[in-house]
Amino acid sequence: MNIYIDADACPVKDIIITEAVKRAIPVIIVTSISHFSTVIQPDGVKTIYVDNGAEAADYRIMQLIHKEDLLVTQDYGLASLALAKGSTVLHHTGFQYSHENIDQLLQSRYLSAMERKSGKRTKGPKAFTENDRIKFRNLLNQQLSN
């Protein structure tokens, strides 16, 4: 198993790295070159930089990910593609994407995009909370213990 992080806007990278390193599970951080960092990551953590294009990180992740891998992303489209490959996919707020919930999530995203396109304002995502962080750590630990 490898853990992939769609990292440009991921607020739980530190949790993922900490829990994965404890278990010697490789972590691959995929991020745009605009987020370049000189931070030295622990052994077992690799960073892959991609162009700044809108879907560059998604394309790279889909080239790399396999059935037994785990992905952390907030991108519903990428989540649906990874689910189709048989990967486990988690959202940073502490819920797991599944074949049962992905269609509803994609539909909700589509309807919001249509509202914005017609000039209506839609609410953005809720602020990330400490409770979200706790829920995510618990879910991640549960998945890594399986």
**Does residue 146 belong to any structural domain of this protein?**
no
39-45: long-range contacts at Cβ-Cβ below 8 A with a sequence spacing of 24 or more?
A: 41/17, 42/17, 44/20, 45/17, 45/20, 45/21
Domain-embedded: residue 24: yes
Is 23 within a domain? yes
Q: In angstroms, rounded to a whole number, what is the distance separating the alpha carbons of residues 144 and 38?
A: 28
137: pLDDT strictly greater than 90: yes
Instruction: Please check whether residue 17 lies inside any domain of the structure.
Output: yes
Q: What's residue 125's pLDDT?
A: 74
How many domains would you assign to the chain?
1
Q: Over the stretch 77-108, which tens digit does the pLDDT of each residue have?
A: 999 999 999 999 999 999 999 999 888 888 88
Domain span holding position 67: 3-141
Residue 128 sits in a domain whose CATH number is 3.40.50
In our burial notation (b when 16+ CB lie closer than 10 A, e otherwise), range 65-84 reads: beeebbbbbbbbebbbbbbe
Does residue 71 fall inside a structural domain?
Answer: yes
3-state secondary structure of 71: strand
CB 135 within 8 A of CB 128: no
Q: Tokens at residue 132, please?
A: 């979200």
pLDDT for 54 equals 78
Which H helix or E strand runs over 91?
A: strand 88-91
Question: Is 41 a domain residue?
Answer: yes
Whether 133 is covered by a domain: the verdict is yes
pLDDT at 59 (0 to 100): 96
